[in-house]
A and B are shown apart, each in its own frame.
Chain A
């Protein structure tokens, strides 16, 4: 289902690129070129998600964000920024954003994060304690995993990884998202350290079953499919 997204970005080329991509994915996207315009639109209409550039002329992204939060608008916000240091990311998240993506970014990464954010805001209502994806059943309280009724033994980190995949099932999850959400590290390790963890999880999850659930999405990341 398409959702309503506002992108606040002064660089028209980036804005057009993002707008086109998100529209192709079925969302309706509006564009504001300045912080003031963005703040005005975000307070005027209801959006499902706001993509906010951090460096905007006059009123910068984080000020817009703080103004939004101060006005009681809880719409999920994804901050886009060329400021990519760990400190910048944390400052961005601390200012009330829900996610932070550093420029330059792969569109697949942006799309994956947008969808994860949209899904997270949906999932806030009526959360079932058990997560069920196809024949996979996860009990977050007991930290137990069963597939087709058979118990799967996972190490703590593998469990966290799978739970994150399951909560975002059917959507692309990128390596950076995993690093941030499962390990809480905001840097790019540069090696395939995440892939190794995913492949171990895959071995435990899929090896004894005919149909693999944990799929690799080329050039983007992974996806858990029912």
Chain B
């Protein structure tokens, strides 16, 4: 059975059940109220007769019963019965008299008026007065009529409830169908190649809006990754072309030359170009991998301040050889950070190499470590030309190269990798102004647990 049909049927059944419950409740309530009021009347009536008996004795009682039988309304029945079930006075049919229990109390029994053909349910009060039994009854005609009306209403109500239930069910089914089908259509369109369409979310925060929102977020993520991949393959194809061209040219030249020294030089070039290509590919792969890192399986705890100090120590001699002062500013120790030590070291090393390559003119590179609002801030600041705000997006992009004349392979990948690593750690890469120069800050969240 389709889910929609099942939901519709369930809704219909629930509507029916609730309608029946309400009508049933009203039915019993009105019936009980009617009976209670009749019981009160009969009790009062009997009390009146009891007073007359006490005052006037059996004779007065008997004449009063006879008067009452004549004068009473069509609903009112009264009888005086001898202990042997003989009628002494009143308007009860003899067959009914035989049925009246001769004991004090209030009963609901079917009684017939003398001279009529059908019995009716009556609230009956019985009391012994001297040697005789007094019976006063009220036909519960009113109550019964109400009850019959209610029974009829119940029947109609059930029919209506069934109808309304089915209608509601249909509406609910349509609504559910429409919302879910809308989302399914978006997904289907997406797999057919329409990457722009998104599901309608609507207002509020129910399961449907949440489903639509989640689906949209998933589609956004897929689109972003797809675009990145396209950009990546485009960039890769573009960037691979020139080193492969140089590689081929060098191999070609090596093949043609007869001078051994020249050949060795060319072959050395070939190896260098091949290494460069390999490094570029490795970086591309690393970016891909860092996007699928999971804190549970890849993260471990380490001291982030120590790591920054270590990287500074590693690069200090190289910087000094280039006439640049490189130093570390920060605490000797910091609370452990959960992350991928190797990747963070690599990100940091990329930032330092960028600073040494592009910020060399400033003669200073400062590495620093600080804690800030649940995050770790690692900064690599130089006094070079910096990155203009309108060029920052380009700098982060894979293969985005600010200086087109630089042809060293992979240079365009460095910051993209740093950013991917930051994202993997719930963090970001921020470019600040070092007045003058670039202050590249790697902000890593402490909230990610391994």
Q: Which residues of chain A have a CB within 8 Å of any CB of chain B?
A: 83-88, 90, 102, 104, 106, 157, 183, 185-193, 196-197, 200, 219
Contact = CB atoms under 8 A, between A and B. Distances in A.
B298 interface: yes
B33 to A, nearest CB: 80
Given A84-B278, A86-B346, A197-B314, 4 more contacts: A188-B279, A190-B353, A193-B315, A219-B268
B264 to A, nearest CB: 10
9 contacts: A87-B289, A87-B340, A104-B274, A183-B314, A187-B346, A191-B318, A196-B321, A197-B317, A219-B271
Interface in B294-328: 298, 310, 313-315, 317-318, 321
Residue of A83, A87, A90, A200 contacting most chain B CB atoms (<10 Å): A87
Main secondary structure of the interface of B (DSSP, over half): helix
A102 B314 contact: no
B343 interface: yes
A8 to B, nearest CB: 23
A90 B321 contact: no
B293 interface: yes
Nearest to A190: B279
A84 B343 CA distance: 13
A87 B292 CA distance: 11
A7 to B, nearest CB: 21
B353 A157 contact: no
Given A85-B282, A104-B278, A191 B346 contact: no
A85 to B, nearest CB: 4
A188 B277 CA distance: 12
Contacts of A185: 342, 345-346, 349
Interface residues on chain B, size class? 20 to 34
A190 B346 CA distance: 11
B410 interface: yes
A175 to B, nearest CB: 11
Contacts, number: 65
Contacts of B321: 196
A1 B125 CA distance: 125
A157 B317 CA distance: 12
A29 B293 CA distance: 38
B289 A187 contact: no
Contact of B353 (A189, A200, A219): A189
A187 B342 contact: yes
Contact of B343 (A86, A183, A189, A200): A86
Contacts of A193: 314-315, 317-318
A157 B310 CA distance: 10
Contact of A196 (B275, B293, B317): B317
A106 B272 CA distance: 11
B220 interface: no
A91 to B, nearest CB: 9
A88 B298 CA distance: 11
B51 interface: no
Contacts of A188: 279, 282
A87 B346 contact: no
Contacts of A104: 274, 278
